[in-house]
Amino acid sequence: MTDAGHPYAGTAIALATLHGKAEALAPAFAAIGARVITAEGVDTDALGTFSGEIERRLPALEAAIAKARLGMAATGLPLGLATEGSFGPHPVVGFLPLHREIAVLVDDTRGLVIAEWLDSHQARYGGCLLKAGDTLDEAELRRFGFPEHALIVRSEPFVPGSTIHKGLRDGAALDAAIDACRRASPDGQAWVESDLRAHMNPTRMQRIALLAERLVARAGTCCPQCRSPGFGQTGAQPGLPCGDCGAPTAATLSEVASCSACGFRDVRGRSDGLTEADPAQCDLCNP
């Protein structure tokens, strides 16, 4: 079944990816009758890699737009799709991991960039340094989600031209890569980390699939003022009061929805209905 009333029903959308993202992105667009066309021969790694051989110079949103435009240029299509992921500690609750995935639909027919994002604390990522004689125990491998989630091994310190092995999902191959990187290192050290490329990280691929559904829903939501597609949340305002003392916290108080075409803004309460922050997020109750 397709959604004939969706603004992008019946369209073809370019996707530049080296990492099999069409598997996660295409079904949501197929549900509205849109086809995701993978652009051949486009090196998206030129915009940067998670593993550090090529520096990621652009902010995530700009990188996603650049990727979408690479696919559009390669296919000649006026519509392009891309995602960009980032991983690190949560900016407010530092002990929590944060995976943020951004997806964009670039529409040169209407002159629009429709963006959606998804945050998750269920990220499978991390790294550890192995000095001479160190080994990876089963607990560490489980933390990485190995072997379902692939690993990268590189010599440490890592400089241009250093030895690096990617996409490791086999114990013997992992051990061999660690040995090779130790031999290549002047300090006899190897660094092991999660391979965060989408086709090597099933948890990330699942989040991309969910994000695709959200992007399709957003692209189908028209601005109440100018009727352009893509109206939705673009930001948030902090200040949610603490549940104990009532002081404003850094947690989101309200959400800001806007239109990238006409600039119309609508400030709304939190979509989850939460009216009080956990005291653990309060600088007064938990200094």
Assess whether 30 and 48 both reside in one domain.
yes
213 plus 78 within the same structural domain: yes
Taking a C-beta distance cutoff of 8 angstroms, is the pair 168, 195 a contact?
A: yes
Same-domain pairing of 120 and 58:
yes
CATH number of 79's domain = 3.30.160
97 and 14 co-located in one domain: yes
Domain match, 119 and 15 both = yes
- pLDDT tens digits for 237-248? 999 999 999 999
- Phi, psi angles (nearest 5°) of residue 61: -65, -45
**Helix residue spans in the chain (DSSP H):** 22-30, 60-75, 138-144, 171-184, 202-219
For residue 94, name the pLDDT band (cuts at 50, 70, 90): low
pLDDT of residue 90: 64
Mean pLDDT on 269-278: 92
Q: What 3-state DSSP class applies to 198?
A: helix
Confidence of residue 48 (pLDDT cuts 50, 70, 90): confident
Reported in sequence order, the residue ranges of 90-171 that DSSP labels E, i.e. its strands, are 97-107, 112-120, 127-130, 151-156, 164-168
Whole-number Å distance between alpha carbons of 167 and 153? 9
Residue 83 shares a structural domain with residue 209? yes
Structural domain harbouring 13: 1-125+201-220
Q: How many domains in the chain?
A: 3
Kindly tell me if the per-residue pLDDT of 275 is higher than 50. yes
Instruction: Mark whether 5 and 82 lie in a shared domain.
Output: yes
pLDDT band at residue 92 under the 50/70/90 scheme: low
Q: Which 8-state DSSP code applies to residue 256?
A: E
Residue 34 sits in the same domain as residue 103: yes
User: 112 with 134, same domain?
Assistant: no
Amino acid 139 reads: A
